[in-house]
Amino acid sequence: MKKNLAFTAVSLATMAAVAGCSTTDYSASSTATSGSVSGAQAELAQRVADAQAREARLTEENASLKSQIASYSSSAGATAPAAPYSGSSSALPPNPLPGECYARVYQAPTYNTVTQKITVQEPGEKLEVIPATYRTVTEKVLVREASEELRVVPATYRTVTEKVLVKPESYRIETVPPTYGTETVRVIDEPARSVWQPGRLTASGNYIPTGAGSNTGGVVGGSYNGVTRIDNGTGEVLCLVEIPATYKTITKRVLKTPGSSKRVPIPAEYTTITKQVIGTPATTKRVVIPAQYKTVTKKVIATPGSTKRVPVPGVYDTVTTKKKVSEGKVVWRSILCDTNAAPEIIKNVQTALQRGGYYGGPIDGIIGSQTAAAVKRYQTQAKLPVDGLLTIDTVKSLGVNYK
């Protein structure tokens, strides 16, 4: 009877741990982000509601389980055989076996990843110039058809030296300047002239022009009040004097021969050059030319350029969300515990986890926190339900014999 009830005590002890572990895993998974903020918020709200419903369901089932355990314990006789229990209540494991341990664990909801397109910019229309498009083609083309060609046989040349006229004979005009000489000539310096001069009384009693040295004769008079007069009743005495011309000798430049021009011949200029002259003249001949082909790669117009009104496609983004396929539920799983697993089996499990790099703790045969954490890491890697419990499926996957 004690063994038959062992699984119930284990289940009660592990339910809280399982609920806590699954809640922790669920919280970690709820941090996953989606492409859309609103989708992530909706998904988070749904997961919170699922967690609350799961917590309420676990509380209710725990109460039912405790009631059934109490009822089963009071109704069982002390000498009753340890037969498998096959109660119909879902609060107990279905078809349990004596000596086995079971744990109620929460099986998380399953989701499908849904990818959908959202519109970022509505489609429209615009007028644009569509350039011509080209495509590259490779083809064998005829370069030249077979034909006859009249070819020119070039002339041959030889080198000759000859004297050539560089500049023909010409003339230049030279200017002959005039020639000059000098000669001495006597020229009038001041011409003869007549001037009035006041008269003066000479010693002989005559009046002569002032400054004259000769006697003019026939003029009488005296000086009255400093003025030469004939008498006191007359005016002053004036003499008209002839002053002869004066001359000077000068030397001047005179033209001997006038300027002129003359033609001076310029002889022709020649140079000696070397040039090529035809030795034999060019000729022609007929030559047969075969057809020629080659493979060429060229661009050809695929579509000609044009202007047209074209639609502007909408801009879309891809958003990935998770859609629930099935609800989370509590299920019974067969596990290893202190009742049905010897320390040696637990040591074998720890050794297998250590060999895989999941466990770094002591090999002590005790299911502690390090062992549970290693089990979680292995279950995640092996894509098993992640609960940290040594379920029979986990032990089998590790290759450990648990019986």
DSSP annotation string for 276-323: EEEEE--EEEEEEE--EEEEEEEEEEEE--EEEEEEEPPEEEEEEEEE
Q: What is the pLDDT of residue 114?
A: 84
Please name the residues in contact with 133: beta carbons below 8 A apart, sequence gap of 6 or more: 301, 302, 303
DSSP annotation string for 262-278: EEEEE--EEEEEEEEEE
Q: The dihedral of CA 331, 332, 337, 342: what is its sign?
A: negative
Query: By three-state DSSP, how is residue 122 classified?
Result: coil
At 179-213, the pLDDT tens digits run 888 888 888 888 988 888 776 656 565 556 655 55
Nearest residue to 345 via CA among 396, 384, 382: 396
Q: List the chain residues with pLDDT less than 50.
A: 1-36, 75-89, 214-221, 224
Q: Are 296 and 141 in contact (CB under 8 A)?
A: yes
Nearest residue to 13 via CA among 338, 234, 349: 338
Nearest residue to 200 via CA among 177, 220, 225: 220
What is the number of alpha carbons within 13 Å of residue 118 lying toward its C-beta? 13
Q: What is the pLDDT of residue 311?
A: 85
Provide the terminal-to-terminal Cα distance of the chain, rounded to the nearest Å.
Answer: 21
What is the length of the chain?
A: 403
Q: What is the pLDDT of residue 378?
A: 94
Q: Where are the domains of the chain?
A: 1-123+315-338, 128-146+292-310, 147-166+272-289, 179-257, 341-403
Q: Tell me if the domain spanning 341-403 has CATH number 1.20.120.
A: no
Cα–Cα distance, 139 to 185 (Å, whole number):
112
Angle between helices 343-355 and 369-381 (to 10 degrees): 50
Q: What is the pLDDT of residue 215?
A: 43
Q: What is the pLDDT of residue 164?
A: 85
Q: Give the H/E segment covering residue 180.
A: strand 179-190
Q: What is the pLDDT of residue 235?
A: 63
63 bridge partner residues: none
CA angle 253, 255, 257 (to 5 degrees): 150
At 360-394, the pLDDT tens digits run 999 998 888 999 999 999 999 998 888 888 888 89
Cα–Cα distance, 371 to 383 (Å, whole number):
18
As a dihedral over the C-alpha atoms of residue 358, residue 360, residue 362, residue 365, rounded to 10 degrees, the angle is: -10
The CA-atom distances, in angstroms, between 242 and each of 191, 194, 219, 373 are 11, 4, 18, 163
Cα–Cα distance, 259 to 335 (Å, whole number):
147
Q: What is the pLDDT of residue 231?
A: 62
Q: What is the pLDDT of residue 11?
A: 40
Locus of tokens 């648990």: 402
